[in-house]
Amino acid sequence: MSGMWGNNIRVSIFGESHGNAIGINIDGLPSGFHIDMDKVMVEMARRAPGKSPLSTPRKEGDIPEILSGYFEGKTTGTPLCAIIRNSNTKSKDYSKLKDVMRPGHADYTGAMRYDGFNDYRGGGHFSGRITAPLVFAGAICKQILESKGISIAAHVNSIGSIKDKSFLDVDINEELILSFKGKELPLINSELEEAMRQEVMNARKDMDSIGGTIECVVLGIKPGIGNPFFDSVESTLAHLMFSVPAVKGIEFGKGFDISKMRGSEANDEYYLDGKTIKTKTNNNGGILGGITNGMPIVFKVAIKPTASIFKEQSTVNIATMEETKLSIEGRHDPCIVQRALPVIEAVTAIGILELM
């Protein structure tokens, strides 16, 4: 089972979408760190469902219950364990899905991997609901990083064909990051918000779904963090990004577009800003040789369209080994890009703290 990750900050996730609870165990946190639970709850609310027409109507409080590793408002240094109880489940909506495989979901691969013993209700352990404990852990890691002058933020880079500006093309500062606070669709160009909402609602009207991209930045990180090859900043973050359901791609800096450039364009030339070495461009996303160069870390992830759609699709009943048709019922997001934002920020914070 691959429910554990990390060497310095070790996390272990557990639970199923329609089980009693989901949760996480975090080992390696420093002792004596004051956790601002109000800030943690802000992050939990960002990911929680049922807030707008852009997401599933399933409502969950997503209130973490800390079982250990936390005393009088501070970390004890021992493993911190928390659970989040599932309170709004409708398991009967999934009764016919035990044998009928949903296209785009992990139903078939999960059944093959676990010999049919996996909990299929709501996707079980494969569900995006399991990202709630990751957001809890990431919220704590974000606070620790903030105490070291490091901040993490993400914006919706695109939904469908509607595309926002990139962090690489603007001045990334605290004012810009603060402008994202409290917004369901944080954008550099806020004038695009209505067009993005309409893109999602059009997909919902068509009984379909839509995907997009999220761009994330790490500000304030010093040069010299990370390692070449297997424990590079890129490989560490990429490992965590692909642990988030629906992430299908990642690129750092200019990413795939850098392949179209010449070296003279792609190279980030150095200059002195007082006694600080900076680069004129950030095409490499703040990372060279797997190690931070002091510029903001910038990367982008691709989020696939929500697999659960109401349109009829072709599939197979693995019990009878017959082809069949399936119209998915239940409560589903027409787009999960906006709810994935705090998850991407959370796992970034876990990864950066691990590297530091």
Q: Is 278 annotated as a binding residue?
A: no
Both structure tokens of 4: 């554990």
CB 148 within 8 A of CB 221: no
Tell me the residue length of the chain. Answer: 356
DSSP state of 344: H
Q: Is 125 annotated as a binding residue?
A: yes
Helical spans, DSSP H, in the chain: 37-47, 107-113, 131-146, 174-179, 193-205, 233-241, 263-266, 337-355
Q: Is 136 annotated as a binding residue?
A: no
Q: Comparing C-alpha atoms, which of 143, 23, 37, 27 is closest to residue 76?
A: 27
Q: Is 47 annotated as a binding residue?
A: yes
Q: Comparing C-alpha atoms, which of 250, 189, 172, 244 is closest to residue 214?
A: 250
Q: Is 307 annotated as a binding residue?
A: yes
Both structure tokens of 81: 């364990």
Q: Is 18 annotated as a binding residue?
A: no
Q: How far apart are the first and last CA of the chain?
A: 27
Between the CA of residue 29 and those of 35, 55, 69, 142, 143, what are the distances in Å? 11, 33, 9, 12, 12
Residues 201 and 352: their CA atoms lie apart, in Å, by 35
Q: Is 302 annotated as a binding residue?
A: no
Q: Is 339 annotated as a binding residue?
A: no
Q: Is 142 annotated as a binding residue?
A: no
| Helix, strand counts (H, E) of the chain | 8, 18
Q: Is 147 annotated as a binding residue?
A: no
CB 35 within 8 A of CB 144: no
Q: Is 305 annotated as a binding residue?
A: yes
Helical spans, DSSP H, in 103-151: 107-113, 131-146
Q: Which residues sit in the known binding site?
A: 47, 125-127, 289, 304-308, 331
Q: Which residues sit in the known binding site for FMN?
A: 125-127, 289, 304-308, 331
Q: Which residues sit in the known binding site for NADP(+)?
A: 47
